[in-house]
Chains A and B, each alone.
Chain A
Amino acid sequence: MSADEAPLLALERVAVSYGGIQAVKGIDVVVRKGELVCLIGANGAGKTTTLKGICGLLPLKSGHVRYDGRDVTGMRSFRLVRRGLVMVPEGRGMFGALTIEENLAMGAYIRDDRAAIRDDVERVFTLFPRLKERRRQTAGTLSGGEQQMLAMGRALMSRPRLLLLDEPSMGLAPLMVHKVFETIIAVSGEGVTILLIEQNAKLALEVSHRGYVMESGEITLDGEAAALLHNPKVRSAYLGEAL
């Protein structure tokens, strides 16, 4: 993973407005192939808005999004998915009235290789045995943690190259948070590039290669995750430690 390799994802001076407020004020973020990068910051810092800007769910006010060497600024989300850029939205975005199997099938919507899809469903079930037990139940009957697993499993079904995770630990019990992060490490280990958004800065920095700190719509710090973890400013602002 050399630093001069062309990045898989690059945000160039990206600005996004949300609800009349400029929530993201011209940020630069780079994610290289194979990396696990986190974007941390307080509630309202503009993290989710950034992701929505990347995915075409919100229009950019200015700046560019480059993905895999192409300018994908303003491209609609379903086209990005076909290029391997997949987001797991905040709140997990379940199709609550669809069964777990149907949810997974929708994750594989862009694929036509039935046999391989079946194999991938089995892989997701190996990763999350709880889902296999409930494969014919509707997703709405799952607990929050199970839904997060399904959301990640469903995203993996498209065989993404770049996975954007929006607050995967939000609202989960500590045991579930642990399981979710284990999964993130495993998926990253399989070579999927990940941009992770988290309020739980400590956990995020512990699993990531690099990190960006976002504050009021701007990137205020970035660097190796280990270095950020020991940065006194980060420690006081996000890790709850007194200086």
Chain B
Amino acid sequence: MDTFIQQLVNGVTLGSVYAIVALGYTMVYGIIQLINFAHGDVVMIGAMVAYSVIAVLVGAHVSLPPLAIVVIATLFAIPVCMAVGYALERVAYRPLRNAPRLAPLITAIGLSIVLENIALIIWGRAPLPYPQIIETVTYRLTSHPDGATITNVQVAIIGISIVMMAGLLVLIYRTKIGVAMRATAQNAQVAGLMGIDVNRVISITFIIGSGLAAVAGVMDGSYYGVAHYQMGFILGLKAFTAAVLGGIGNLGGAMLGGLLLGVIESLGAGYVGEFTNLCHLSGWSHALALRCVSDPHLALFGSNYQDVFAFVVLILVLVFRPSGLLGERVSDRA
């Protein structure tokens, strides 16, 4: 039971990050039907910029509380990522607005490579140890001494994600620009006939998604304690999976998909060793029985297969429910 709770906590933490990144994918898709494959790299840029700011502040022995340093770093990363997101749309996607859909898709993959290489030039090839300046405090969730725990970082990630998601929903459903974004997503031409500057709305969509990505980057870096110029690739792919799982174009779907994916991954990683434990088969093979004496946890798959679960989910969704859990409108978009 403790393993289950622990993996659930880890999964929800991870899933919160996926959800925030998935929102960026799904918002852009909703409004211009583009899978912005460079979005994961915007997350990476956010993590990297925050890393540099933290490193500079810590290196300069600024007498600020650690939390303030992280907040300052995030506040730096957000506008940088917003500018990157804006620039991607303005420079690369907008000229292709009326091109066949494959063209902007390939461009997105190209931009992903460009961003990774820019990061490679600036921050180098080696994984950067994310400064763990916030002292980790662990809270026990059960009475068992080795039982499930949750850390202050996990609490912060989950809490900040909830606040951001709620803020986004208020923005999209309660403000004029939010309604204009939904109107543009449904029919950009008619939105123009209402006096809505569609280009501006699209820019704002990229800017909001990139701002969320910046925070996700800092959360991911702080959680795993490492940042790397290619970290956005796998994270982006998983967030894309989350968006598809929830129903791409659907905000609630991205949130649900992100959380589910995080939980599935964590539970999968937590239990895969147990389920594929080969020692259950000791009666069948003498050689196996011998090995199990020294290694009772001998398993076919270990928790290093964590990433596989995301993509198994992606394949299953694409085969059995391509519109996603909350999606409805795939056929008319295909």
Contacts and interface: CB of A to CB of B under 8 A. Distances in A.
B145 to A, nearest CB: 52
Contact of A78 (B182, B186, B198): B198
A113 to B, nearest CB: 13
Contacts, number: 64
Interface in A42-79: 55, 57, 76-78
B115 to A, nearest CB: 31
Nearest to A105: B179
A64 B228 CA distance: 56
B190 interface: yes
Contacts of B195: 78, 81-82, 109-110, 158
B193 A89 contact: yes
Contacts of B198: 78
A109 B180 contact: yes
A167 B191 CA distance: 19
A94 B193 CA distance: 11
B319 to A, nearest CB: 27
B176 A93 contact: no
Most buried by B among A55, A76, A102: A102
B187 interface: yes
Contact of B193 (A87, A97, A98, A102): A87
Interface residues of A, number: 24
A129 interface: no
Contacts of A82: 195
B186 A95 contact: yes
A93 B179 contact: no
A109 B182 contact: no
Q: Is the interface of A mostly helix, strand, loop or mixed?
A: loop
B190 A89 contact: yes
Contacts of A154: 194
A106 B192 contact: no
Nearest to A107: B194
A106 B184 CA distance: 10
B2 interface: no
Interface in B166-196: 176, 179-180, 182-183, 186-187, 189-196
A107 B193 CA distance: 9
Interface residues of B, number: 17
B196 A78 contact: yes
A106 B186 contact: no
| Majority-rule SS of B interface residues | helix
Contacts of A76: 192
Contacts of A107: 194
Contacts of B180: 106, 109
A77 B193 contact: yes
Interface string B237-252: 0000000000000000
Contacts of A89: 189-190, 193
Contact of B183 (A55, A86, A98): A98
A106 B191 contact: yes
A191 interface: no
A96 B190 CA distance: 12
A106 B196 contact: yes
B176 A105 contact: yes
Which of A105, A106, A110 has the most CB atoms of chain B within a 10 A radius of its CB? A106
A133 B24 CA distance: 36
Contacts of B187: 93, 95
Nearest to B173: A102
Contacts of A105: 176, 179
B190 A93 contact: yes
Contacts of A81: 192-195
Nearest to B179: A102
A76 B196 CA distance: 11
A87 B192 CA distance: 10
Interface string A211-234: 000000000000000000000000
A86 B179 CA distance: 20
A98 B196 contact: no
A185 to B, nearest CB: 23
A109 B193 contact: no
A93 B193 contact: yes
Given A105-B176, A109-B176, A78 B183 contact: no
A142 to B, nearest CB: 15
A86 B196 CA distance: 12
Contacts of A87: 193
A97 B184 CA distance: 11
A98 to B, nearest CB: 6
A76 to B, nearest CB: 7
A55 B179 contact: no
B186 to A, nearest CB: 5
Given A107-B194, A109-B194, 12 more contacts: A77-B189, A78-B194, A81-B195, A86-B193, A87-B193, A95-B182, A102-B179, A105-B179, A109-B180, A109-B195, A154-B194, A158-B194
Interface of A: 55, 57, 76-78, 81-82, 86-87, 89, 93-98, 102, 105-107, 109-110, 154, 158
Interface of B: 176, 179-180, 182-183, 186-187, 189-198
7 contacts: A89-B190, A93-B190, A94-B190, A95-B190, A95-B191, A102-B183, A109-B196
